[in-house]
Chain A
Amino acid sequence: MRASSQIRFACHAMVVAAGLLWAAAPAGAQQPIKLGFFGPLTDRFAALGIDAKKGADLAIKLANDAGGVNGRKIELVAYDDRGNRTESIAVVRKMIEQDNVVAIVGGSLSLTSIASAPVANEEKVPMVAAYSNAVGVVKGNDYVFRWASVADVQGWVMAHHAVQERGYKKFALLMQDEEYGRGIINGAEQGLKKLGGEVVYKKAFPPTEREFRAIMTEIKALNVDAVLMSGLGPVLTAGGRQGYEIGVFPKAQLYVGCDLNEADWFTGIGENGDGTIGTLEFITPTDNAITKKFMADYEAAYKEKIITHEAGLAYDATRLIIDAMKRGGVDREGIRKALAETKSFTNLSGVKISYTELREPMLPIALGRWDKASQQIKLMKFVEDPALIDPRPWYQYYK
């Protein structure tokens, strides 16, 4: 009786000890690295956040399949902020304090990122804002980096292409009235002023606008050479479509910002929009092997061919953070240092990109042309001239 109970105790003890050892052993070396993510996964901006999360998820899956960082797996801790500013502050604090993330991928709108970026900065957690173009997200926050262009750069590139390469003279500007849309049009206006393009028409509209017929009717009567338009995907699609129906385009050339590369345009532009030029932060498809592999991976993961602006930028932003972990170590300070020192990071379009001292990338702008026949954006060329893509000169417009 006594012996048997002793044996039973010994057996139990061994099982427990083995269990403890099994649990403890990987805990030191194998605990996953936690990477934070926040963005609008529900509510009205859900399409943006969900796409961004797809990009981040894919980057992490591919990195883990390739062995992770020094043998450790990476785990994405994702929170929904519903596009709500106070909620984004709450979730960023939560992921920093409760989940102990080493870095954050910002998958949210500019206005929410502007509210939550200072939180990451105060807590000294490096953050890469994936697709928000507002200067205020990065400016003054030493731990916050951007993986996107400053909006103004896009407008400047548009104006430059239209005047210098196409020789256009008369312009109409259509501005979505929030920070991103204003940035693009500011860049375009400054550029046209410098290069001698004449702006004969300018109109602002809210991001919810879908009705452009009255505006397009007016523009048609003005016989402009080109229309430069800023806005989110649905807005550009509506404007482009109605402009074609009323007959403004293709007589005048339509230029739009990076949101040409949105599902809305692909599904909604239909028979219209041929030849529209967009200023993009990356472009798919290209002939580059890196892009081709990425597109194949993306399609395998999500059964989708269209890689939206948010998905692509969040994918690269996440890869950049993982790359920084490998270079600088898996701690917050090391990641920040490595991010700041980033040189020649290859993005999914196969272009090499370095950071400026303002934590803004020198991101080449891809000029893409919408091709109706193939329903794809065709690469015209990469604009890599530092005089055109440098984000630094535009900081003066944002206090």
Chain B
Amino acid sequence: MNATVLGQQLVNALALGSVYAMIAVGLAMIYGVLRILHIAHAGIYTAGAYLGLLAFRETGNLVIALIVAMTAAALLGALIERFIYRPMLARPRIVALIASIGLFICLSDLFRILAGPHQLAFDVPELAGRYTAGGITVSGIDLVILGGTAAIFVALWFVIRKTSMGFAIRAVAQDVETAKTMGIDVDRSVSRVFMIGSAIAAFGGVAVAILYNAVYTTMGDMIGYKGLALIVIGGFGSISGAVLAAFLLGFAETALTTYMDLPLSREGIAMLMLVLLILIRPQGLLGKA
């Protein structure tokens, strides 16, 4: 193994980690405020990809496509929160979980019915360009993913830490009752969390669709389950923990699939990591004991 290969694998791992981070961050935020495992988040990610593709085919402009996908996904997320999760919050935890699974099944089938069973291509010629430096190849979409992730996380950090909206979200995540007594509109904060998380997932969906040149009904499945694993590994509800776990997983998968002959698939590795980590550190990487 030489330095070039290592460098290339580093880029690959970073891109993969970014993709995981984009789905995990929404899940972590949503868990933070509502304490629900939002499995249907993977459906929103897929919806983002389909909507982005639709908008891109209509306009031929990727920026517009991204805006359409993110806005529509935000709306979808808010609707799901308002009409499905909100009435369930007082009920046992398993109720929202089952509803989420049902919703995910519905969404997947809806994509198939509306867009057909075949995988669709998401070809963006402007991003197909490759840049080679010192033997390491980076494609245009890699740059969009890495840059987009960085931009999104800086913006997210700013919103959560420096704005009143972010303050409200943090307060709700800490303790709903206290937040209420402080005069914070809890419902609005929760709704915003869903919108932000869903928009980020939609960005991830579009980016991955371009990366693999593929939009298909089950594209969210594995990444969705891994996302759940990531928020547990990161420490429930901890955004930075989930992001850290996402990048660790990106590196672990890249390293383990290539440099070790484990009798497991990438999925198996991710899930094994999850099982072991929960056993060693039930509270997660950055969770409080």
Do A215 and B257 contact each other (CB < 8 Å), given the known contacts A177-B265, A245-B130, A264-B119? yes
- Complex CA gap A204/B16 in Å reads 19
Report the stretch among B54-62, B66-74, B216-224, B280-288 that lies at the interface: B216-224
Q: Which of A217, A218, A263, A271 contacts B119 (CB 8 A)?
A: A263
Question: Is A268 engaged at the interface, CB distance under 8 Å to the other chain?
Answer: yes
Query: Do B2 and A221 touch (CB < 8 A)?
Result: yes
CB distance from B61 to the nearest CB of A (A): 19
Question: Is B214 engaged at the interface, CB distance under 8 Å to the other chain?
Answer: yes
Q: List residues of A (125-144) whose CB comes within 8 Å of B's CBs.
A: none
Report the stretch among A43-51, A88-96, A250-258, A368-376 that lies at the interface: A43-51
Question: Is B162 engaged at the interface, CB distance under 8 Å to the other chain?
Answer: no
Q: List residues of A (329-363) whose CB comes within 8 Å of B's CBs.
A: none
Report the stretch among B4-12, B92-100, B172-180, B233-241 that lies at the interface: B4-12
Query: Do B217 and A44 touch (CB < 8 A)?
Result: yes
Q: Mark A263-280, 1 if CB is under 8 A from B, else 0.
A: 110011011000000000
Query: Do A47 and B121 touch (CB < 8 A)?
Result: no
- Complex CA gap A43/B113 in Å reads 10
Q: List residues of A (10-57) whose CB comes within 8 Å of B's CBs.
A: 42-44, 46-47, 50
Q: Mark A296-322, 1 if CB is under 8 A from B, else 0.
A: 000000000000000000000000000
Query: Do A238 and B9 touch (CB < 8 A)?
Result: no
Q: List residues of B (204-251) whose CB comes within 8 Å of A's CBs.
A: 212-214, 216-218, 221-222
Do A208 and B128 contact each other (CB < 8 Å), given the known contacts A50-B117, A267-B118, A267-B119? no
Query: Do B213 and A270 touch (CB < 8 A)?
Result: yes
Which of B9, B119, B120 neighbours the largest number of chain A CB atoms within 10 Å of its CB? B119
Query: Do B5 and A47 touch (CB < 8 A)?
Result: no
Query: Do A208 and B119 touch (CB < 8 A)?
Result: no
Task: Specify the chain B residue showing the minimal Cβ separation from A244.
Answer: B130
CB distance from B150 to the nearest CB of A (A): 20
Q: List residues of B (57-91) whose CB comes within 8 Å of A's CBs.
A: none
Question: Is A213 engaged at the interface, CB distance under 8 Å to the other chain?
Answer: yes
How many residues of chain B have a CB within 8 Å of chain A?
39
Q: Which of B9, B213, B254 contacts A241 (CB 8 A)?
A: B213
CB distance from A204 to the nearest CB of B (A): 8
Query: Do A47 and B258 touch (CB < 8 A)?
Result: no
Question: Is B112 engaged at the interface, CB distance under 8 Å to the other chain?
Answer: yes
- Complex CA gap A237/B122 in Å reads 13
Task: Specify the chain B residue showing the minimal Cβ separation from A50.
Answer: B117
- Complex CA gap A238/B128 in Å reads 14
Do A46 and B112 contact each other (CB < 8 Å), given the known contacts A217-B8, A221-B4, A234-B119? yes
Question: Is A71 engaged at the interface, CB distance under 8 Å to the other chain?
Answer: no
CB neighbours of B16 from chain A (8 A): 211
Task: Specify the chain A residue showing the minimal Cβ separation from B112.
Answer: A46
CB distance from A216 to the nearest CB of B (A): 9
Query: Do B123 and A270 touch (CB < 8 A)?
Result: yes
CB distance from A337 to the nearest CB of B (A): 37
Query: Do A210 and B120 touch (CB < 8 A)?
Result: no
Query: Do A221 and B121 touch (CB < 8 A)?
Result: no
Name A's B-contacting residues (CB within 8 A).
Answer: 42-44, 46-47, 50, 177, 203-206, 208-211, 213-215, 217-218, 220-221, 233-234, 237-238, 241, 245-247, 263-264, 267-268, 270-271
27 pairs, CB–CB < 8 Å, chain A vs chain B: A42-B109, A42-B112, A46-B117, A47-B117, A177-B265, A204-B265, A205-B265, A208-B267, A209-B265, A209-B266, A211-B266, A214-B253, A217-B9, A221-B1, A234-B214, A234-B216, A237-B213, A245-B137, A263-B118, A264-B119, A267-B119, A267-B120, A267-B121, A268-B213, A268-B214, A270-B128, A271-B128
Known A47-B117, A50-B117, A215-B257; 17 more pairs at CB < 8 Å:
A42-B112, A44-B217, A47-B116, A47-B118, A206-B267, A208-B267, A209-B265, A214-B12, A214-B253, A218-B5, A237-B214, A241-B213, A246-B137, A263-B118, A264-B118, A267-B119, A270-B128
